[in-house]
Amino acid sequence: MQSFTSATDDLITLARWMAGDFSNSKQAQENSKDYAHIHVFFRPLPFEFFAGIGLYSEQVYDYDLWSPYRQGVHRLVAQANQIYIENYGLKNSIYYAGAARDLNILKTITPDCIQRRDHCSMVFKREGDRFYGSVEPGNRCLIEKNGCQTYLDSFVEITETTWISLDKGMDVTTHQQVWGSVFGPLRFEKRESFAHEVPGVL
């Protein structure tokens, strides 16, 4: 069994690999009909926020960087053989738009601003030079879209320079896909690293 010390090392590595500005510009240029140009930002939070490692995230279209369509806060927790990432929503997310690129905005986010997304944590395991992650089991990360109750089916693959993800919303009754890409995963390359901002001591 992997030691806790090793899991902690993996946690810091995962946080440093996640910390950055990722873009799927190559994918969007090669197939603009099926893929929009998107940025995924992960910006490290101060150690004091969670008394541990945390990240703030934004997903935005390249043409409108100040209007993210998804924002979140994430707390990384080392377990015996995996990294558990708790996901939180922002109560008034519009107030913090752009925080991934402007540290003055990032500093205004406090623990009082966030709310846990129950049953929506991600579980990551390291395999060689990459981490694989998926939403916690149970099909209980519920998201209502267009009047339909769905559960999140999410897969992520991370290396030091790449981020591949596929999110799908599945009907809770029929288990058929309701939303999300039908053309395959989004493929991002890291354009800028924020790894130096990740606290190194747990």
Give 29-49 pLDDT, tens digit per residue: 999 999 999 999 999 999 999
First to last CA, the chain: 21
Kindly state whether residue 106 falls inside one of the protein's structural domains.
yes
Q: How much is the pLDDT for 33?
A: 92
Q: Is residue 202 part of a domain?
A: no
Tell me whether residue 49 is in a domain.
yes
Contact in structure between 197 and 43 (CB atoms under 8 Å)? yes
Asked if residue 201 belongs to a domain, the reply is no
pLDDT band at 146 (very low <50, low <70, confident <90, very high): confident
> Number of structural domains, the chain?
1
Pair of tokens at residue 151: 């559960």
pTM: 0.93
pLDDT at 201 over 90: no
What's the CA gap between 139 and 65, in Å, rounded? 32
pLDDT > 70: percent of the chain: 97
C-alpha to C-alpha distance for 50 and 13, rounded to whole angstroms: 18
Mean pLDDT of 123-130: 97
38 within domain boundaries:
yes
Q: Which domain holds residue 139?
A: 4-192
Tokens of 123: 């579980």
* 197 lies in some domain: no
Assign residue 166 the CATH number of its domain. Answer: 2.40.128.590
Whether the CB-CB separation of 131 and 146 falls below 8 Å is answered with no
**Structural domain includes residue 86:** yes
Classify residue 118: in a domain, yes or no: yes
